[in-house]
Structure 1
Amino acid sequence: MSESGHSQPGMYGQGRRRRRRRGDRDVGPPGQNLSGPSRDRDYQPRERRDGSEDPPGPLIQKTPIILAKPPGERAKPSQNTPVSGTPVLEKPIMLMKARDDGVKPGTPTESAAQSSGPPSKIEREGQRPTQPVYQIQNRGMSASASSSALDPMVGQSKLLPPEKMKHSIKLVDDQMNWCDSAMEYLRDQTDMLVVGVIGLQGTGKSTIMSLLSANTPEEDQRSFVFRPQTQEIKERGGNQSTGIDFFITQERVIFLDTQPMLSPSILDHLINNDRKLPPEYNLPHTYVEMQSLQIAAFLFTVCHVVIVVQDWFTDLNLYRFLQTAEMLKPSTPSASHDSTGSSGSDDGAEYYPHIVFLQNKARRDDFCPRNLKNMHMVVNKLMAHSHLKYKGTLSMLDCNVFPGLGQDYLTTEVNMFLLPVQENDGEDNLTKAGSGTYPLFSLLPGYRGHPAFSTMVSKLRSQILAMPRCQLSHTILTEKNWFHYAARIWDGVKKSSALSEYSRLLC
């Protein structure tokens, strides 16, 4: 009785004190637990150990959220907690997190944490990451760049061949203005060959350039990339090409077809149509001659090979024109401050292209070895004082056109090539020659004295494409760099003081 009597008042007294605590908020004597029911007693030592005081106002029971979270998510809020008001950037821990953690790889939280930041402890310790290696390497790239780098369609498009041209486009129009339409067909690579052509009117420049670039003699001439003269234009003595036409092949060979040099049809068009001349030119024939010199000087600066086409041997005025264009040729631009692209060339060295003299519509007598030797001797004497590379790089003897001649037959072999008349133009003459008083000749093919026209064109094409590709400037040029370089040269040619002074002396 005594024990139960002593214990009961204590229990009732404690219950009354608890009720006063809840209602009247009286604070009991120290040493007694007045914070709530008996289930809250486990938390009372922690609060005492932390030294925190009871907050004023009604007591709000704290939900143990932190204790209920897994370890992986419990560490995340501590990273974003600001220290002294400065936010701490989130580290890409989820990118490098091991598989034994609570968070699975590939979750949205992990992909969001993949953005940027220093490597985690797991990466420094050499453990294998859960993400592929290419994702780790592309952490600093933007989303668009990484997606395009991983897109297989983008990779296949880079391996596709360049766009094939179907016809020529203008590089310089009939008003002598530069055109930018050729830029889309050029690439950033340096293995290219630039071939230009000049010649008098009606010599077959456009036809030869079409056969060298993309067409065959059997095709219709109306489908040639450089359109030749039509029959109507031939009958009225007109010219087909104006300015400079551009075409690039799949083998990265750039062909430049030009208007005829010293063309009488262009002069006639200027006079009869009352076209206004530029203010620096007073006479139409001076303007036509200066146009021709500008085009020739331009080709001598931006081309590896320049083909000079003539349909009879030979016109001395054409050689005088070549020497004048060489004299007025703009000097090679000096090397820039970055001389890393120069390949051993001196800064003071001038660039001169290779010149090929093409004898088009050659007769059968021109293929006689004696006549061929005489033509080489004449060209060698006319070009003796020229800096143009006119000999030593193209040979008809190497083409096996003259199988009985030795290599020492032509001591000074000039870059000269002979093209015969096309078969469709010479069939009548061959038929007449074969159907004479000797009936046996009618059963045999006519004697040509040279291989067929298509064979000669094929040999010429192989010789032209094998020409040395010298460095055009003091720096190595890509196709796109060549385009900008050519635009700069053309602008310099039009504003050249030497050409202006020469035109003034012509008046």
Structure 2
Amino acid sequence: MSESGHSQPGMYGPGRRRRRRRERDPGLPGQNLSGPGRERRDGSEESLGPTLQKTPIILAKPPSERSKPSQAGAPSSSSSSSSASVEKPIVLIKSREEGKPALPVDGAAQGPGIAAKVEKEGQRPTQPVYQIQNRGMASAAPGSSVDPVIGQAKLLPPEKMKHSIKLVDEQMNWCDSAMEYLLDQTDMLVVGVIGLQGTGKSTVMSLLSANTPEEDQRSYVFRTQSQEIKERGGNQSSGIDFFITQERIIFLDTQPILSPSILDHLINNDRKLPPEYNLPHTYVEMQSLQAAAFLFTVCHVVLVVQDWFTDLSLYRFLQTAEMLKPSTPSTSHESSGSLGSDEGSEYYPHIVFLQNKSRRDDFCPRTLKKMHSVIDKLMMHSHLKYKGTLSMLDCNIFPGLPRDYLGSEVNLFLLPVMDSEGDEARAGSGAPLFSLLPGYRGHPSFTSLVSKLRSQVLSMSRCQLSHTILTEKNWFHYAARIWDGVKKSSALSEYSRLLL
């Protein structure tokens, strides 16, 4: 009885307390603060080893997580819990915020890399932070740089075009290859050109867009006629060619209107005509009208190039294309009952008459005044903006002429023959006395006139093409819809039947 009474205090009394003091590590003074002794009430000694390894991590837990049961009691999950605790340094950053909820488990599973990045950048490790980082890394192109602040790819300059591409192919079908060069911005200018065969449309468009007269014509963005094509009377351009500059100027070069070479190609090669056209010349004329009506709808400026003054059939063609032009889409709140309101809301581009390959006599002030008078009388009933937006008198080409000398000044500009300067220089080199003096041309140099024309064309007002402001990509879709409407136009079909 006395032995049992003496043994019981040794097992449950002072002996038990002395054993527990020996099991505690004196080098860990904060052990009794974290609470593992209070959590483990079963007194099992198998969990003492893992507890000693995880004590530095447990000390770093916020007070809100101290009441959670420890995972060290499960021997089967000791390795997984140890690895999860090693990957927890992100809670060290969360503990600096007062009153903030803890980071979700899926956020902590992202690894210590994101936590170090967030701590380095001084951002709070909330969920949108690493979502921005992941989104920026995923959207960045292989060759682009990533902004370290927002984690997104930096803006790169638009891709520069080196040559023109097809907007409408030879079969008059729409092409989508130009879409990759367009941006989502509204500051753009669309310039188109029409003219008869061999007037120099592609050369003028190349000089206005990206080339200079000193460059080789074989490197122009719009291909010019080769000597072989000139000898056999062929045409170089087919369909509609597209080119956009770094200044966001869109140039559209078209095939020649009323082209005899296209008609000859249709007849000699036995090309099958569409079922709605019976004769080849009707098909060629309708192709020309479709291209002109399309440019009158989607362009801010349309150049009409001619190499001699003047062809009355050209002005008749322009008036026909204006009549068959598709109507501009109107807003829903506009009423369609009044004819005057419809005409006021209809869009018409600026039209510029470019007299290419002009002779010396064409630059005479009296001849220039007659040209303006003829064009004004031929276009007086047109809604196209053919006057008031371009002036040769403002370019100091004719110094001393007053502004009211031309009377009604139209948008007319004269360009001399491109290689006339070299021919005159070679002709004047035979005279030894005047070899150092420039020859008299009667007009400024070709390079100077091209520069003045370019500055005036590109500074024209950019009217709104539709009832909404169009970006470059929206303009492309709008132009595709207009081209499809032009090809299926009932007015053009009825006009083609009247030509028979």
2:342 maps to 1:349: no
1:461 equivalenced with 2:454 (yes/no): yes
Count of aligned residue pairs for this structure pair: 435
Task: Name 1:213's counterpart in structure 2.
Answer: 209
Q: Following the alignment from structure 1 to structure 2, what is the Cα–Cα distance between the partners of residues 180 and 263? A: 26
Match of 1:305 in 2: 301
2:487 is matched with 494
Report the residue type matching 1:292 in the other structure. S
The residue identity in structure 2 corresponding to 1:198 is I
Q: Distance in 2 between matches of 1:398 and 1:135?
A: 63
CA distance in 1, matches of 2:155, 2:307: 44
Task: Name the structure 2 match of 1:239.
Answer: 235
2-structure distance, mates of 1:493, 1:291: 10
Rounded Cα–Cα distance in structure 1 between residues aligned with 2:238 and 2:124 = 54
Q: Give how far 1:238 is off.
A: 0.4
1:395 aligns with 2:384: no
Instruction: Decide which of 147, 153, 168 is 2:145's aligned counterpart.
Output: 153
Q: Does the residue aligned with 1:218 lie in a helix, a strand or coil?
A: coil
Letter in structure 1 aligned against 2:122: P
Identity of aligned pairs, percent?
A: 70
Q: Post-superposition shift, 1:493?
A: 0.8
Q: Which amino acid aligns with 2:485?
A: G
TM-score w.r.t. structure 2 length?
Answer: 0.77
TM-score using structure 1 length? 0.76
Displacement after TM superposition at 1:410 (Å): 2.1
Q: C-alpha offsets along residues 218-247 of structure 1, whole Å, 9 cap, x if unaligned? A: 111111111111111111110000000011
Runs of at least 5 residues in structure 1 that lack an aligned partner in the other structure:
1-8, 19-31, 44-54, 82-89, 116-128, 338-344
Q: CA deviation at 1:140?
A: 6.9
Q: For residue 286 of structure 2, what is the aligned residue in structure 1?
A: 290
Aligned to 1:98: 96
Question: 1:371–1:221: structure 2 CA closer, same or farther, 3 Å change rule?
Answer: same
Contact 2:94 2:125 in 1 (8 A): no
Aligned to 1:6: none
Select the residue among 130, 133, 139 that pairs with 2:129: 139
CA contact (8 A) 2:425 2:438 kept: no
Q: Please tell me the residue identity of whatever aligns with 2:129.
A: R
Q: Which amino acid aligns with 2:298?
A: V
Q: CA RMSD in A?
A: 4.0
| SS at 1:133 equivalent | coil
Alignment of 1:4-43 (within 5 A): 9-10=1-2, 12-14=3-5, 38-39=15-16
Describe the SS at the equivalent of 1:361: strand
> Do the aligned partners of 2:139 and 2:153 also contact (CA within 8 Å) in 1?
no
Change in CA separation of 1:381 and 1:73 when aligned onto 2, cut-off 3 Å:
same
Within 1, Cα distance between the matches of 2:208 and 2:478?
Answer: 25
Matched residue, 1:112: 108
Please state how far the C-alpha of 1:212 moved relative to its aligned partner: 0.6
Residue aligning to 2:38: none
Q: Conserved in 1, the CA contact under 8 Å of 2:297 and 2:465?
A: yes
Q: Distance in 2 between matches of 1:236 and 1:130?
A: 72
Structure 1 or 2, whichever has the larger Rg, is 1
1:176-196 per-position Cα deviation (integer Å, ceiling 9, x unaligned): 011111111111111111100
Shift of 1:75: 4.4
CA contact (8 A) 2:225 2:236 kept: yes
Report the secondary structure of 2:61's partner residue. Answer: helix
Instruction: Work out the CA distance in 2 between the residues paired with 1:63 and 1:442.
Output: 108
Call closer, same or farther: CA 1:159–1:70 in 2, change over 3 Å: closer
Q: Is the 8 A contact 2:167 2:175 kept in 1?
A: yes
CA deviations on 1:114-139 (whole Å, 9 max, x unpaired) are 89xxxxxxxxxxxxx99722754833
Which of 258, 266, 272 is equivalent to 1:270? 266
Taking the TM superposition and a 5 Å limit, the aligned residue runs for 1:470-481 are 470-481=463-474
Match of 1:371 in 2: 367
CA-to-aligned-CA distance 1:117-172 (integer Å, 9 cap, x gap): xxxxxxxxxxxx99722754833725521446999813497443211111111000
Structure 1 residues 272, 78: closer, same or farther in 2, change over 3 A?
farther
Aligned pair partner of 1:72 in 49, 61, 85: 61
CA distance in 2 between counterparts of 1:388 and 1:457 reads 24
Structure 2 segments unaligned to the other structure (5+ residues)? 21-40, 71-87, 112-118, 334-340
8 Å contact kept, 2:421–2:445: no
Aligned partner of 1:327 in structure 2 is 323
Q: Residues 137, 498 of structure 1: CA spacing in aligned structure 2 closer, same or farther, 3 A cutoff?
A: same
Q: Is the 8 A contact 1:311 1:362 kept in 2?
A: yes
How far off its partner does 1:454 sit? 0.9
Shift in Å, 1:335: 3.5
The answer on whether the counterparts of 1:199 and 1:260 sit within 8 Å (CA) in structure 2 is yes
Matched, 1:171 2:148: no
* 2:319–2:382 contact (8 Å) kept in structure 1: yes
3-state SS of the aligned residue for 1:153? coil
Q: Deviations over 1:401-429 (max 9, x none)?
A: 00010112122110000001123477269
The 10-residue stretch of structure 1 (164-173 or 69-78) with the greater mean CA deviation from structure 2? 69-78
Name the CA distance, whole Å, in 2 between partners of 1:80 and 1:314. Answer: 98
Call closer, same or farther: CA 1:404–1:277 in 2, change over 3 Å.
Answer: same
Q: Deviations over 1:341-379 (max 9, x none)?
A: xxxx99971111000000001111111111111111111
Letter in 2 for 1:243: G
- Cα distance in 1, alignment partners of residues 121 and 418 from structure 2: 69
Contact 2:304/2:351, CA 8 A, preserved across alignment: yes
Structure 1 pair 98–463 and aligned structure 2 pair: CA distance change class (3 A): same
